[in-house]
Amino acid sequence: MAGSPPLVRIVPAELGEGLTGILVGIPADVLIFFTMDDLRLSGTAGRVQIGGVVVLALLWAVNLLVSRPRQLRAFSSAVAVEDASVPGPNEERTRQLRRGCVRVAAFVLLVTLGGAYVAHWPLFGLGVQLILGLGLLHTWRTAIWWERRHGVHLWKPALSAVGRENWRRSPYYATSARARSLTNNG
């Protein structure tokens, strides 16, 4: 796998990006609610905003439920990697994980602040954070469950290194979750 993009564990990547997005969005929401003169939460505009957030979250939840069997099939076809050092240097993985978190944080800030101050929809950012929360729940229900049940760690190329389309087409890789020790090198 020399010359290939670095692999990152999917659980820390998804949890890190989701939590970063939520934690960056909270101060942005506080800033919005304290600085906007009119949140437009009353009347028709308020109902449209609240309805939009609810519909967005429901559609995302349905999407996650529908895609769960496909994702579990992808996990089951993960390419077994025997040597735990194959996924790449630890420094590069850490750099890619941080890069992914920064990208999600920038996206959440852009959508939250842009939605509030440009589009005058202050609740849109809350909808994005709700989607990230649903994504965290989905990761817990699929990837973490799969890793614990099968005793493996799941890996994929870093999204920030390969781009969305190449990331979607790339297979999952699996390494044993058993810790290597001096007495058990196999």
Encode pLDDT of 62-91 as tens digits: 999 999 999 999 999 999 887 656 666 788
Within-domain flag for 186: no
Helix and strand element counts for the chain (H, E): 7, 4
Average pLDDT, the chain: 87
Strand, helix or coil for residue 152: strand
Residue 15: give the domain boundaries: 7-176
Spatial separation of the C-alpha atoms in residues 21 and 108, rounded to whole Å: 6
Categorize the per-residue pLDDT at 182 as very low, low, confident or very high, splitting at 50, 70 and 90. Answer: very low
Within-domain flag for 11: yes
pLDDT for 32 equals 93
Encode pLDDT of 93-119 as tens digits: 899 899 999 999 999 999 999 999 998
Strand, helix or coil for residue 63: helix
Within-domain flag for 53: yes
Strand, helix or coil for residue 80: strand
In percent, how much of the chain has pLDDT > 70?
91
Within-domain flag for 185: no
pTM listed for this prediction: 0.85
Which region among 53-57, 74-78, 164-168 has the lowest average model confidence (pLDDT)? 164-168
pLDDT for 138 equals 95
Within-domain flag for 30: yes
Structure tokens at 58: 């429901």
Within-domain flag for 136: yes
- Beta strand 173-176 with 79-80 is parallel
Please report where in the chains the tokens 């044993």 appear, as a residue.
176
Task: Tell me what the mean pLDDT of segment 159-181 comes to.
Answer: 79
Q: State the total domains in the chain.
A: 1
Within-domain flag for 181: no
Within-domain flag for 182: no
Name the β-bridge partners of 9. 155
**DSSP annotation string for 97-143:** HHHHHHHHHHHHHHHHHHHHHTSS-TTHHHHHHHHHHHHHHHHIIII
- Of 185, 7, 19, 170, which is closest to residue 101 (Cα–Cα)? 19
